[in-house]
Structure 1
Amino acid sequence: MTGGQRGEPELVGQDGVGVPDALQRLWTPHRLAYVQGENKADGDQPHGCPFCRLVGMDDEQALILARGERVYAVLNLYPYNPGHLMAVPYRHVADYTELTAEETVELAEFTQRAMTVVRAVSGAHGFNIGMNQGVIAGAGIAAHLHQHVVPRWGGDANFMPVVGHTKVLPQLLGQTRELLAGAWRES
């Protein structure tokens, strides 16, 4: 590696590979863990499930925002947008139809409260809310049901995700957790 113009790195390789260009790089190494399957559930076994492991951890360490009787709210470790959280039943169930009536009600209440809290903290203009049922439907952790609450803002689908396949998150997850957990307690 030799220095290029204006201190830019210049990698010399076959066929000019590594020649400096005018593009800036925004590195998102935290996404590699998701791509490689880190923290995925081990089949149907609760002991291998990250959602089951979270409940035994400290809220701050686990990024848990609030705990209910049957459901808890936790930040997504690999968020689509700032404030992306999930409502998760404590019970290890894979399918929405397996929830009890009480779990279904509390899951809905946590989703409503999450929307209220995220709006108060961030001024979200809208939300994507949903769950992927099964691996074939896109569930990253299919063995443990979870409902996503993804805040949206006008113009949040800018050039970064479209061209750069990258989301820009303006704060660390711990900071987001602190803001949302505080607002959750006050709401």
Structure 2
Amino acid sequence: MDRIYAPWRIEWVERDRDPIDGCPFCVLPERGDDVDARIVARGEHNFVLLNNAPYNPGHAMVIPYGHVAEWGALGDDVMLEHGRLKAATIAALESASGPDGVNTGMNLGGSAAGGSIDDHLHTHVVPRWDGDTNFMPVVSDTKVIVEAVDRTYEHLHAAFGELEAAVTVPSIDGDDDRSSDDDATDAVDAADAPADTADAADATDAADADGTAGAVRLSF
């Protein structure tokens, strides 16, 4: 019998099982721990969530906070930011892992479209590499993922923090907020944030008060 060694999977096997009651895309942003929820970036109307069962390392989803099933039902502000956040996600992936290409798209229309969560729309952003499809899915219905999701989170968090749209970059271990105008590794006090990021800083302070520090805050 051939064996595939993936020791990081023990973290998934031994995880605390806390089933989500309701729509996960509604519940996760309210849970109070962006790192644990794997929400890597937040905008005003949408957020970026890493896929727990990625097609490839870095597989992310751009999701509106509102529980909406149809693209045309989104408000103009939500729709515009959704597109910009998708572009930011692609840029962060290109910076973090240098893929050869990227697939993006939605599954709209229920099971016929292949979506597992069809009543809360979301856009998949999947990095692709030459040769990332091989014999494994064909002969054994197995996809080999070479990077743990937690490590992907760290890489993407840093990449989002370097984007021009990033206004606050909280530490993923809950330390002081970090300003995108300085190096992402240099912690700064919120009072030192540039004046033109004041509104976003206020929003971040409110989020931090709710225990949601962790995701990079973006403003477009």
* Alignment TM class, shorter chain as reference: 0.7 to 0.9
The one-letter code matched in structure 2 to 1:78 is A
Measured after TM superposition, the shift of residue 27 of structure 1 is 7.6
Could you tell me which residue of structure 2 aligns to residue 26 of structure 1? 4
Q: SS where residue 48 of structure 1 aligns?
A: coil
Displacement, 1:185? Answer: 1.2
1: CA distance, partners of 2:35 / 2:49: 10
Q: Give the corresponding residue for 2:78.
A: 103
Distance 1:126 1:50, change over 3 A: same
TM-score scaled by structure 2? 0.65
Give the corresponding residue for 1:160. 136
Consecutive unaligned residues of structure 2, counting only runs of 5 or more, are 14-18, 164-220
The answer for the alignment partner of 2:24 in structure 1 is 50
SS in 2 for 1:74: strand
Percent of aligned pairs with the same residue? 44
The higher radius of gyration belongs to 1
Equivalent of 2:120 in 144, 160, 178: 144
Q: After superposition, what is the alpha-carbon deviation per residue over 1:120-171, rounded to whole angstroms, capped at 9, x for unaligned?
A: 1111111111000122211100110100001101111112223222221122
TM-score (norm 1): 0.75
AA paired with 2:81? E
- How many residue pairs get aligned? The number is 153
Q: How does 1:31-180 map to 2 (within 5 A)?
A: 48-57=22-31, 58-133=33-108, 134-180=110-156
Give the Cα separation in 2 of the matches to 1:83 and 1:173: 8
Distance apart, 1:26 and its partner CA: 3.1
SS of the residue corresponding to residue 61 of structure 2 reads: strand
Structure-1 separation of matches of 2:30 and 2:150: 18
